[in-house]
């Protein structure tokens, strides 16, 4: 049996995928990307703190916005992959869950790493004017 939250995440992703061009034209690539990156840890924290099935399901659905942006804004995604390898933290998740005896540790870690992602997302170069801001 599937998860309603994951199904709604897919529906949300499809919805945002259809309007992504308009959002980028309206708000700009940087704003859309940063908003999508902010949505994930916020939703993860809400899922950790809430005891309401409805709130957790809605939060899971909202992560579809992040998924959509990461799939549609490929140059941003490529620049993130070339910046640093991001696979290393996921290697430790099994051990963290076993050590804490709770899958909530996974969500807390995801939310915390999401906050780190927000910081690094502000350093992504979207156009030539960004190059001057971040040059050493």
Q: Where are the domains of the chain?
A: 4-126
The answer to whether the CB of 114 falls within 8 A of the CB of 106 is no
- The model's pLDDT over 32-90, given as tens digits with 9 standing for 90+, comes to 989 998 999 999 999 999 999 999 999 999 999 999 998 887 655 565 455 555 655 65
The pLDDT of residue 27 is above 50: yes
Stated pTM of the model: 0.61
The answer to whether the CB of 65 falls within 8 A of the CB of 39 is yes
- Band (pLDDT 50/70/90 cuts) for residue 1 is very low
84: left (phi over 0), alpha (psi -120 to 50) or beta: beta
């Amino acid at each position: 049996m599937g998860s309603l939250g994951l199904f709604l995440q897919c529906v949300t992703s499809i919805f945002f995928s259809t309007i992504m061009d308009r959002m980028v034209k309206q708000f700009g690539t940087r704003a859309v990307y940063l908003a999508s990156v902010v949505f994930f840890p916020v939703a993860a924290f809400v899922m950790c703190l809430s005891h309401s099935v409805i709130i957790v399901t809605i939060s899971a659905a909202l992560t579809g916005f992040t998924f959509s942006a990461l799939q549609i804004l490929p140059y941003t995604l490529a620049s993130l992959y070339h910046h640093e390898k991001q696979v290393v933290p996921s290697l430790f998740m099994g051990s963290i869950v076993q050590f804490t005896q709770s899958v909530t540790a996974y969500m807390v870690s995801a939310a915390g790493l999401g906050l780190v992602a927000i910081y690094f997302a502000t350093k992504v170069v979207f156009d030539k004017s960004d190059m001057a801001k971040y040059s050493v």
